[in-house]
Amino acid sequence: MVLVTKGDIEADGSIKETLKDVTVHEIMTKDVFILDVTSTALEVAKAMDEQNIDSVIITKYGEATGIITERDMVCKVMVKDAMPHTVNAEEIMSSPILTVKPNTGAIKASEMMVKFHIRRLAVTDGKAIVGLVTDRDILTVAPGLNTILEDLIEINREQDVVETIDIERGVCQRCGSHVDDLNQFNGLILCEDCREEEE
C-alpha cells in the first residue's frame, strides 16, 4: 500500500502527481463475500452480520452481476415490509455492478465513482472477482485529492449536516495543507490562513 504524507504533498505540489501510480490493487479489500442470485435477502443479511460487512457481491453463473448493500436491504426489504426469506437477491441487488481491473489507477476509480454516484467498485481479473474498492479506501490514501474526492464526500453526508460540521484536523480544501485548525467558510473546509484570505 502507498501512503501519502504531508511531505510528499509539499515536495510535489500536486497530490494527483503523487497518486498517479497508485492502483486499486494496492488499496482494495481482498476479502469479498460473494453469493449467488438465488440467495434470499435473509441469507444476505445473515452473511453481512456474520462477516461484519456492509455489502455482498451477487453472481450469476459465476460472473459478478450486482451488489447488495445495507442501504438496499433497508430500502428494498425493510421499508417495504417484505419477508426476507421470500425475497431473492436478484430482486434487490443494484445492477449492473461496475468493475475495474486491478491495475486501474485510484484517480480513475474515484472519477468513475463520482460520475456514476456510487461508492464501490468490484475489482476483477478476467471473470474472477479479486477485490472491492470503496470511496473510503481512496480517501484513506488520498486525503488531499480535493477536486475529485469532494464529490465522494458529498455522497456520504447529508446536506443539512454540512452546515453544522466542526472539523478539528484535516486537509484544507483550498491550499491542501494538513492542519489542526479547520472550519467551514463559504461552503469550503479551510485553514485559518485561507479563511483570512477569503474574508
What was the pLDDT predicted at 13? 43
What was the pLDDT predicted at 141? 73
Is the pLDDT assigned to residue 183 strictly greater than 80?
Answer: no
List, for residues 91-126, the tens digit of each pLDDT value: 999 888 888 999 998 888 988 888 888 889 999 888
CA 114 to chain centre: 10
Q: Is 187 left (phi over 0), alpha (psi -120 to 50) or beta?
A: left
Question: Between these two residues, 161 and 129, which has the higher pLDDT value?
Answer: 129
- Per-residue confidence band for 168, with pLDDT thresholds at 50, 70 and 90: low
Question: Between these two residues, 159 and 121, which has the higher pLDDT value?
Answer: 121
List, for residues 115-155, the tens digit of each pLDDT value: 888 889 999 888 888 999 998 888 777 655 555 556 666 66
CA 7 to chain centre: 25
CA 29 to chain centre: 11
- Per-residue confidence band for 19, with pLDDT thresholds at 50, 70 and 90: low
Question: Between these two residues, 69 and 166, which has the higher pLDDT value?
Answer: 69
What is the 8-class DSSP label of residue 2? -
pTM of the model: 0.60
What was the pLDDT predicted at 6? 44
Would you call 84 exposed, middle or buried from its count of C-beta atoms within 10 A (0-12, 13-18, 19+)? middle
Q: Please identify which residue in the block is written with the cell numbers 501510480.
A: 21
